[in-house]
Each structure stands twice: as C-alpha cells, then as structure tokens.
Structure 1
Amino acid sequence: MTTGETQKIREDRPRERRTTERTRLAVAGARAAGQGLYTPRSAKHRVTNTLFSAVLFLGLGTALVALTAIIGWALVEGWPRLDANLFLAGPSTINPEEAGFRTAIIGTVYVIGGVIALIVPLGVGAAIYLEEFADRERWYNRFIELNIQNLAGVPSIVFGILGLAFIVRGLGNFGFVAAAGSMTLALLVLPTVILASREAIRAVPSSVRNGSLALGATLWQTVWRNVLPAAAPGILTGVILGVARAIGEAAPLLLVGAVTFVVYDPSFFEGGYSVLPVQIYNYAKRPQEEFHVMAIAGVLVMLVVLMLINSFAIWLRNRYEKKW
C-alpha cells in the first residue's frame, strides 16, 4: 500500500465516523417521533387535550353565535328599507323614504379600488425584496423591517393625520378627493399585506428555488415564474384581510375629506366624496327613527359590497391553489 493510499484512508475515517453519527442521530429521532405518535397517552394528557379542544370550540361557537345574532338583528331591523332605492337613490336629509347609498357605494368602490391598485404592487414588491433580494446584514434593511412591524400596530387615526398632513395638504397636495382617501387607507393596510406576503413567500419550499436556479434561470425569473405563483394564495389572503379592514375604516377618512354630504356621483381625482361607513354614521346620528333604519340597512349594503370584492379575491386564490 502506497503512502498516498494510506493518507486517503486516514482522511476518510473521520468522514465515516461523522456519517455514522448522523445516521445514529437520525434513527434515534425517528424512533422517538414514532414512539410519541403511537405510544398510548396518559389519562392526564387525554383530559388536557379534551379540555383544550372544548375551550377552542366554545370560543369559536360564541363568536359565530354573536356574529349570526348581529346580522340577524340587522336583517330584521333594516328589512323595511331593503329595496332598490337603497342602492340607486342618493342621500337625503329631508325624506328618508327616498334616501339611499348610491353616492357612498360609488365612493367606496373608487376608494377601495385605489387601495387594491396600490397595495398589491407595493406590498408584494416590498415582500419580494425583503425575502429574496435584501441583505439582512445591511442596517437599512433591518430598519425597514422594524418599521413595517411597528406600523402594523399603529392606530388608524394616526394614518388619517399623516394623510391630512402629507397627502391632502403637504407634499402631495391632492386635496379632499377620493384619491387621497385611497392613499391614506393604502398606508394603513400596507404593513398587513407586506407581512402576509412575506410569510407566503417564505413558505415556498427551497427546492422550488434550487431547481429553477439549477436549470439556469436567473433569480428574478425564479421569483416571477415559480415563487410568486406558488405564494399567490397566501398573498391574496393578505390582500383580502387588508381590503376587509380598509372598507370598514371611517376614522382616517374623516380627516381626508370623506365628511361631505355628497348628492352627486363622486370622481376619483376631483370633487367631494363619501364612503359607506361615513354615510352610515351620518344617518345614525340623525334624530329621526327612519334614518336609524337607513343606517342599519347601510350596514347590510356594506357587507354585500365587501363580500363581492372578497369573493373575487377568493376565486383568484382558489384558482392558484388548484394549479399548485
């Protein structure tokens, strides 16, 4: 045996020992996992699991019962005004029988449409950058991540103040228009969309990326053609949550122009506008009982608009889930 062969055998022995050690640890881990799954649990564990499941189902049942009761009460109270005028007629301060939510519905569609047009490219783009391209060692990337997490817990009225200062009157100088409301609400829900999109992108298996890169694709091609389609259901879930929050917000919009009693169909970039939460508030604060019924019926209208928008997003999400 030559000297080179002897040296090679000596170098291979530590590798063999490391491989054997890894194998032994893997077998021990698999054995422990199997014993944990198939070994009969003690009576204490069974009682604890049963109690925990009961508490979870109790909380879920309580929430569903409360939600059903609220919607049922709104249907009973608002049923007298569930007619075509509710959707087609404009607001009125004199005759509640002829009042409706047409201008508020149009304003809500404009505002929410602008929110979706802003949060999807900005939120998904920021998530892609932070997860796939950003260097975690850079201070500015860590600063961005810290601020996104902090902004997710800021009260909505703070975003209304920022929208008034920088969008309506400051650098943007858009005025009290629906576009200003869209940008303000987009800032409000953008952290939620970014965080949900990052989690969806992070959940894509690394084998998808490695396989694409191994076949010669660039990093951007891998993200665009493989990672994003696989993460689309989770991203759309984040968009749905953001839109659901934005459509019910009234506090920020009160500061950026949605306080006008609009009797004409609003525009996106000019003129006053109103949205469903603000219009419902305007009807609810009036002393006449008929306007209170209008406010209750307006809640049902807002639920219908929300379900229509979310249904389209859920359809898109299910379509991508079937592909993957």
Structure 2
Amino acid sequence: MQMEHRSPRRVAYDRVLRFLLYFSAFLTCALLVVLIGYIFVRGLPEVTWEMLTSEPSVLRDVMGILPNIINTLALIAGTLLIVLPLGVGAAIYLTEYAKSRRVVEVIEFATETLTGIPSILYGLVGMLFFVQTLGWGGSIRAGILTLVIMILPTIVRTTQESLKTVPQSYREAALGLGSGKWRMIRTVVLPCSIDGIVTGCILSIGRIVGESAALLYTAGSASVLVRLSFDSIPALAQSVGNYFATSGGSLTVALYMYTMERGKIETGFAIASILMILTLIINLSAKWLGGKLKKQ
C-alpha cells in the first residue's frame, strides 16, 4: 500500500496546527498549576490547627472557620439530598416515560435557559420568597432551597444526556427477557449512566462550594458554632432543626468577608486553600462512590 503523498504546504499546515494544539493544552495545564500552586504557597502557611477547630473571636484574636466548614458541609449535604432525587427522577421521566415530544422539548429548553441564569438572580428570588415571604430570615434552610432551585437544571440535563447514551438495544433486551419498565431502568439504564450522574453531582458540588452571592442573600454570613444536644432523640432533632433555621456563612462567604470587609488577604488565601482541598476530597469521594455503584 503506497503512502499518500502530501505537499510541503500541507505538511507545514499540519505541523502548525499540531504545535498550536499542544501549546494550547500546555498553556491550560500550566495556568491551572500556577494558579493552584500560588494559592497553596500563600495560603497553606497561614492554615493552623486553631483556625480549623475554633470559631472566630475578636477578644482572643482568633480567625476560626470551623462554623463555616460545618455550614459548607451542611449546605452540600442538604442540597444534594433534595436535588439528586428530584433531578434524576425528572430526567428518567423525560427520557423513559414522557409521551409528548413537544413537552419534552419545552422542558429541555427551560432547563438549558435556567442553567445560564446568573446566581445572584437566584439569590434575589430566594431572598424574596424564602427569607421575606415565608419569614424564614437568613438561614441555612433558605440557602439550601435556593441552591436546589439553582442546581436542579444542571442535574436534570446531565442525567438526561447520560441516559440518552445508553443503547436502545439494552432496553429492548431487558424487556425481551421479561423485565418490567422500572426494573429495566433500575438494573440496566441507571448503572450504564452512572458516570453522567456522578459528573452532574461533581458539577453541582463545585457550584455549591464556589457560591457566595446567592448565599449572602439567603443563608447569611454568621460564623457561630451551634451546639447539638444529644440528651435524647427529640432534643437532637430540635437542635438540628434550630441549626438549619439559623444564619450561617459558608467558606466562600467567609472568604469574601475576610478579604473585602476586613482586608485580611492572607486569611483569604488560607480559606481558599481549604476550599480547594475540601472540593478535591469531595469530588474524589463522589468518583469512588460512583465506581462502586457501577460495579454493583
């Protein structure tokens, strides 16, 4: 078989494109490494055990962020606990059960439009409805429900696109073997699309962790450590309910407050370092859990 002869001009063109491709990839990776390295170099030396395990105190001159860490984890857990069943369920209905194609197209267009809306608008809506209309005030629960509304379109679209990648022959084979509709979805379709669901979950976690504008309007910026009562189950339930009804600032809100309101730039870099480490741990845990679910 004879090799295709290429003109010198075509060879030069291919080499230039190859160089630009590799250069773009190198530049992207280099910028990421420089950005992360710069944050870690300036932030990690400022991170102390007292900072991680205490609440802020002006009298003791302590920059504690333990309440902000707990608030961030509560926002992530509470939001995912609500948005994942809603988003995955809506995607399953639109992909597997919906009969009207026009209705599906309208919902898909609406979710794509909602995905691109700035987060501060969600914060304003959450403040008007949850904080003022319902009378909840600035609270963790108001922040969680605002994040649910903001992240739901992302979960729906990523899950729906993942479900569409499952070959139709898999569905037909499962139904041909006698499986019901729901059993086919639960045992065949969902395991094959678990990667897309995990991807949507990771994107949602990244948006929750990095959100500040919407949470300033809804969850507030308090940095008070709430003590839970473990005397009895009713007392524990009441203290948990009181915690979600109180104001609480996340790590990103604390980052904004320390840098913009107080001018403590080094403390802001320390919080940024903790945010990046926390995000990495949660994303790796989500990938590991997704792999375990796929094997099962």
TM category (shorter chain) comes to 0.7 to 0.9
Matched, 1:294 2:267: yes
Percent sequence identity over matched residues?
30
Q: Which residue of 2 aligns with 1:127?
A: 91
Q: Distance in 1 between matches of 2:39 and 2:30?
A: 14
TM-score for the superposition, normalised by structure 2? 0.86
The one-letter code matched in structure 2 to 1:155 is: P
- CA RMSD in angstroms comes to 2.4
SS in 2 for 1:86: helix
Q: Distance between the aligned counterparts of 2:130 and 2:17, measured in 1? A: 48
Question: How much does 1:50 deviate?
Answer: 4.2
Evaluate the alpha carbon distance shift between residue 41 and residue 147 of structure 1 in structure 2; reply closer, same or farther with a 3 A threshold.
farther
Residue 264 (1) aligns with residue 225 (2): yes
**Which letter does structure 1 place at the counterpart of 2:258?**
Y
Q: Which has the higher contact order (CA 8 A, sep 6+)?
A: 2
Residue 137 (structure 2) pairs with residue 175 (structure 1) = yes
- When residues 87 and 202 of structure 1 are mapped into structure 2, their CA distance, relative to the original with a 3 A threshold, is same
CA, structure 1 residues 183+50, in 2 after alignment: closer, same or farther (shift >3 Å)? farther
Q: Which amino acid in 1 is paired with 2:244?
A: F
CA shift at 1:83, angstroms? 1.7
Q: Is the CA contact (8 Å cut-off) linking 1:276 and 1:298 kept in structure 2?
A: yes
1:178 partner amino acid: I
Does the Cα contact within 8 Å between 1:106 and 1:265 map onto a contact in 2?
no
Residue pair 1:160, 1:251 contacting (<8 A) in 2 also: yes
Question: May I ask how many residue pairs the two structures share in their alignment?
Answer: 281
Q: Which amino acid in structure 2 is aligned with residue 146 of structure 1?
A: F
Using structure 1 for the length normalisation, give the TM-score: 0.79
Larger-Rg structure: 1
After superposition, the Cα gap between the structure-2 partners of 1:46 and 1:321, relative to the gap in structure 1 and judged at 3 Å, is farther
Is residue 206 from structure 1 mapped to residue 168 from structure 2 by the alignment?
yes
Corresponding position of 1:20 = none
1:197–1:235 CA contact under 8 A, matched in 2: yes
User: Which one of the candidate residues 230, 249, 254 is aligned to 1:274?
Assistant: 249
Aligned mates of 2:260, 2:172 — CA distance in 1: 60
Corresponding position: 1:60 with 2:22: no
Whether 2:45 is the aligned partner of 1:70: answer: no
Consecutive unaligned residues in structure 2, runs of 5 or more:
228-239
Q: Which runs of 5+ in 1 are unaligned?
A: 1-34
* Residue number among 91, 104, 111 corresponding to 1:141 in the alignment: 104
Which residue is equivalent to 1:238? 200
Cα deviation digits, residues 9-39 of structure 1 (max 9, x gap)? xxxxxxxxxxxxxxxxxxxxxxxxxx9xx97
Distance 1:39 1:163, change over 3 A: farther
